[in-house]
Amino acid sequence: MLRFFSTYLGRYHHRNIFHFLQNPKSYSISIIPVTTSAAAQPPSSRPHHCPLSYSSSQNHRYSDDYFAVVHHISNIVRHDYFLERTLGKLRGLIVSAELVYRVIRASSPTKPLESLRFFHWARATHSGTYKPTTLEIEELVLALGRGRHWESMWKTAELMRSLSFPLSSSTFASIIESYGRNGLTDKAVEVFNRMRHFNCPQTIQVYNALIFGLVEVRNFHGAYALVRRMVRKKTNPDRETFNVLVNGWCSAGKLREAREFLEEMRKLGFQPPVRGRDLLIDGLISAGYLESAKELVKRMTKEGSLPDVTTFNSLVDALCQSGEVDFCIELLNVVVKLEFTPDLSTYKIMIPAVSKLGKIDLGFKLIHDAMEDGHKPFPSLYAPLLKALCRAGRFTDAFGFFVDMKQRGHSPNRPVYTMLIKMCVRDGRYVDAANYLVEMTNMGLTPRIQNFDMVVDGLKHSGNYELAGKIEQIDLSLSHV
């Protein structure tokens, strides 16, 4: 087991975890209950709801040890065929609800049945310290549903009910959607009808999941009937409801039916959160009918109407990926004249696309428009333009633009410096590459070994041995940190 352990964690963590498992009380760990909303986020993003508190001054080390224990147990669950026997050999392990939840969350996406075995092992062997909560059981239910282990999923759901734990509407919605994705519409409807036995309300999220399942099997009549039932039950359709139905009709080539549905809902007084044409365009894009979407947008602009910015971004993103960048440029010019205001996502799509085609002047215009709109350029926004300038041999412009972005935009990151160093080396600008390498290290960014090698080799090849030696010294100093 020690060899298996050190394979994943190395000697340092193996030594610390062994001591942690043998002497858990010496670490003075106390578990703080985690709420449902907080537990859905990674520990690093929940600084105000940290699940561990330590009385020792070496808090960081003990935190690492705890999560290394979670990592080790998760590996046992995922990879050990006789996981119960291996887990039983871990002496001094205090199993809590927090530990079980973290292990299940790490293991269940790929090994749902093994995670269920771990859950039963924890209940059977550590009943004194572990009391099940809704968090880990719901996580198991969702994972078993995604893995199509329906029988085990329902047994776990029945366990929740026997423990008087509520099963949330979002969990039911995920189960219904899992059935729908696998074409088991009858099962999805059965789950929908069984919700009342769990005292769980049929929310809009649940309705949308069932509509999705019906649309997946092209049962549009049933989906539309379910929408009418929503109306009778005083549950107003939301954007997702309209999106699912319209996307389904568009993917089936039934554009006329989609339009009739939107018109009928309008007459009933249920306006979609966005305009019907935007929903149609989104549906055509999702179905891959880009030409039809283009024609619909052209017709809108000729009538002086503008698409929603989210819809516009979806269209230009799909068109740029299919190579129709020129059409996107023309369309952007047309809608801007109609007082369309691009957002940051629009620039994130258009600037890399025009830069890749070598339309540098247009790229400059777009990035300056973004800054005028109040957006501060970040590295992934100005890096494509930098690369286009270097490819065009305009290194002087690239260096000046880079200085401008460092002053007016967000600080460059490691990929930007790596790209600049590579482009300088390819053009024989070894001194410039060395300068960027030094600047990168001064900013606290660690260059790749390949960057040092290519710069040193280039400097030696050009006869600049003194600077090459200095770069080698920087490389050696960083390797010893």
Q: Give the pairing of strands 29-31 and 52-54.
A: antiparallel
User: What is the arithmetic mean of pLDDT over 154-168?
Assistant: 82
Higher pLDDT, 11 or 217: 217
Helix (H, G, I), strand (E, B) or coil at 30: strand
Model confidence pLDDT, tens digit, residues 294-334? 888 888 888 787 888 888 888 899 889 888 899 999 989 88
Exposed e or buried b per residue across 176-190, where buried means at least 16 C-beta atoms within 10 angstroms of its C-beta: bbbbbeeebbebbbe
Structure tokens given for 323: 């190579």
Cα distances (angstroms) measured from residue 22 to each of 25, 94, 121, 247: 9, 10, 20, 57
Model confidence pLDDT, tens digit, residues 14-38? 434 444 444 444 333 333 333 333 3
Contact 374, 342 (CB under 8 A): no
Exposed e or buried b per residue across 33-47, where buried means at least 16 C-beta atoms within 10 angstroms of its C-beta: ebeeeebeeebeebe
Helices (H), 392-429: 395-408, 414-426
Q: What is the DSSP string of 105-167?
A: HHHTTT-HHHHHHHHHHHHHH-TTT----HHHHHHHHHHHHHTT-HHHHHHHHHHHHHTTPPP
The closest of 115, 197, 119 to 149, measured between CA atoms, is 115
Q: Which residues contact 481 (CB under 8 A, 6 or more apart)?
A: none
Question: Taking the CA atoms of the chain, what radius of gyration do you get in angstroms?
Answer: 29
- Give yes or no for residue 44 having a pLDDT over 50: no
Orientation angle between helical segments 414-426 and 395-408, nearest 10 degrees: 170
Q: Nearest-5° angle of CA 237, CA 272, CA 215?
A: 55
CB-based burial label for 173 (10 Å; 0-12, 13-18, 19+) = buried
Q: What is the pLDDT of residue 222?
A: 86
CA dist 13 and 340 (Å) reads 56
Structure tokens given for 37: 């909303």
C-alpha dihedral, 132 to 137 to 138 to 141, nearest 10°:
-170
Q: Nearest-5° angle of CA 201, CA 203, CA 207?
A: 120
Whether the pTM exceeds 0.95: the reply is no
Helix (H, G, I), strand (E, B) or coil at 471: helix
Q: Which of 103-117, 144-158, 314-328, 447-461 is predicted least confidently?
A: 144-158
Q: Nearest-5° angle of CA 252, CA 254, CA 255?
A: 125
In percent, how much of the chain has pLDDT > 90? Answer: 16
User: What is the arithmetic mean of pLDDT over 262-277?
Assistant: 65
- Give yes or no for residue 388 having a pLDDT over 90: yes
In percent, how much of the chain has pLDDT > 70? Answer: 84
